[in-house]
């Protein structure tokens, strides 16, 4: 059996795909891990990623999804296609530092901690600043405050958003966390078989939080592994406009809002979500 099944979903990100694959394949070779690497294309090859993979990365499998079918659904096609000991949904804008053997260290962490179903590394932004990539489970009011940027105007909401983003945590320790963002999630096969992969009702956003919540509910822990660090470009397409105007002008913001509502419909809204 393969060690890792890596699945990358592309949507018009050819240059990111090229950089990511180069770093990923080098890390896999250094880590001495047997892997399947797949690129699921949600953009009908408009960026020429198919030709890039064929000529430069012949070992990588390319799959045309026939259009934008959503992040979770595209991921699931690739994740279910190849059996492996571990599964890695990976964003195209992840950068692997050279000669760090990130994947080997994360695999070793999972093998040494059999109660853990999902691990994720520390992430940095492109400018070198820390990215808040592990969070507490969201509360209804906090998500409204963050979307409308009320935290920039009111200290009450700022404290709530900071707590959600775990800014009170030093990010120097490897610890259990509620959930990690889906740009890099290394998942144990046994946990995936019990819990499943992504809920395809989420077109994009919140599918990662939902998966981690299902992991915890099924008895599997989710861990943030601080000693392994990667870079994540983290292009926030849902936050490119004025917060109120974006709900009308930015389709990605509307997708985010829809997924937010689907998440709370699924998991429920409680009075503590409003600070009561």
- Residues 255-269 have pLDDT tens digits of 888 999 999 999 988
pTM higher than the cut 0.95: no
Does residue 158 lie in a domain region?
Answer: no
Q: What is the per-residue pLDDT for 184?
A: 99
Does residue 253 lie in a domain region?
Answer: no
Confidence at 239, pLDDT banded by 50, 70, 90: very low
Does residue 116 lie in a domain region?
Answer: yes
Does residue 143 lie in a domain region?
Answer: no
Q: Which of 20, 18, 25 has the alpha carbon at shortest distance from 4?
A: 25
We report the CATH number of the domain holding residue 109 as 3.90.550.10
Does residue 261 lie in a domain region?
Answer: no
Q: Any bridge partners for residue 61, and if so which?
A: 38
CA gap 84, 5 in Å, rounded: 6
Asked whether 10 and 17 are in contact (CB, 8 A), the reply is: yes
Does residue 206 lie in a domain region?
Answer: yes
Selected residue with higher pLDDT from 249 and 101: 101
Mean pLDDT of 229-235: 88
| For the chain, percent of residues with pLDDT exceeding 70 | 90
Domain that holds residue 132: 2-136+171-237
Mean pLDDT of 90-97: 98
Q: What is the per-residue pLDDT for 153?
A: 67
Q: How many domains does the chain have?
A: 1
Q: Tell me the pLDDT tens digit for each residue of 212-222.
A: 999 999 999 99
Confidence at 242, pLDDT banded by 50, 70, 90: low
Does residue 252 lie in a domain region?
Answer: no
Does residue 274 lie in a domain region?
Answer: no
């Amino acid at each position: 059996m393969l060690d890792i099944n890596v699945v990358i979903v592309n949507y018009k990100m050819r240059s990111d795909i090229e950089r990511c694959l180069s770093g990923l394949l080098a890390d896999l070779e250094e880590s001495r891990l047997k892997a399947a690497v797949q690129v699921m294309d949600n953009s009908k090859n408009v960026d020429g990623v198919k030709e890039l993979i064929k000529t430069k990365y012949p070992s990588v499998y390319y799959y045309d999804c026939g259009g934008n079918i959503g992040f979770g659904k595209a991921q699931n096609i690739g994740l279910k296609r190849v059996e492996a000991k571990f599964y890695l949904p990976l964003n195209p804008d992840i950068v692997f530092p050279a000669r760090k053997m990130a994947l080997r260290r994360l695999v070793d962490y999972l093998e040494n901690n059999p109660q853990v179903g999902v691990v994720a590394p520390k992430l940095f932004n492109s400018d070198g600043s820390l990215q808040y990539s592990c969070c507490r489970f969201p509360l209804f009011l906090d998500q409204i405050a963050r979307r409308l940027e009320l935290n920039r105007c009111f200290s009450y909401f700022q404290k709530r958003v900071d707590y959600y983003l775990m800014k009170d945590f030093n990010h120097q320790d490897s610890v259990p966390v509620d959930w990690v963002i889906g740009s890099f999630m290394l998942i144990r096969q046994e946990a995936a078989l019990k819990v499943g992969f992504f809920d395809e009702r989420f077109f994009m956003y919140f599918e990662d939080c939902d998966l981690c919540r299902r992991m915890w509910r099924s008895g599997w822990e989710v861990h943030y592994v601080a000693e392994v660090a990667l870079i994540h470009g983290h292009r926030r397409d849902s936050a490119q406009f004025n917060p109120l105007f974006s709900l009308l002008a930015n389709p990605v913001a509307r997708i985010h809002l829809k997924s937010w509502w689907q998440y709370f419909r699924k998991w429920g809204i409680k009075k503590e979500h409003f600070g009561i």
